[in-house]
Amino acid sequence: GAVVSQHPSRVICKSGTSVKIECRSLDFQATTMFWYRQFPKKSLMLMATSNEGSKATYEQGVEKDKFLINHASLTLSTLTVTSAHPEDSSFYICSATRGVKEKLFFGSGTQLSVL
């Protein structure tokens, strides 16, 4: 199966700092990448859809100025959590797909803890 690499796997930061999370598709070109967040024992919540070379499409209620998404190439998308606060602590997961309505391949996730 296709491989999606996500790092860091775990990050602890101070309140007010920014954190960047990278998501790479290692062996295929991802036309679309998705960013999710997940709270303990809750389901995945789609934050935004990212297409290479264009602005990300954010889900309702997700602050685009706080969660900056850049999709610079067909193999790399980044999520930057700006001015992080404790309520931003969560498990962030990226996924990538070769095409619309095709299966998703997930990164290993990033556990963010904001002190």
Partner 1 sequence: QKEVEQNSGPLSVPEGAIASLNCTYSDRGSQSFFWYRQYSGKSPELIMSIYSNGDKEDGRFTAQLNKASQYVSLLIRDSQPSDSATYLCAVPNNNDMRFGAGTRLTVKP
Point out which residues bind partner 1 (CB under 8 A). 1, 6, 32, 34, 41-44, 46, 49, 57, 91, 93, 95, 97, 100-109, 111
Closest CA to 32 of 104, 91, 81: 104
Nearer to partner 1, 32 or 75 (CB): 32
Nearer to partner 1, 88 or 107 (CB): 107
Q: How many residues does the chain have?
A: 115
Nearer to partner 1, 16 or 99 (CB): 99
Query: What are the b/e assignments for 48-65, b being 16+ CB within 10 Å?
Result: bebebeeebebeeebeee
> At closest approach, how far in Å is the CB of 83 from partner 1?
26
Contact 32, 26 (CB under 8 A): no
Nearer to partner 1, 78 or 110 (CB): 110
* Structure-block tokens of residue 86: 């404790």
> At closest approach, how far in Å is the CB of 57 from partner 1?
8
> At closest approach, how far in Å is the CB of 106 from partner 1?
4
> What count of other Cβ atoms lies within 10 Å of the Cβ of residue 15?
12
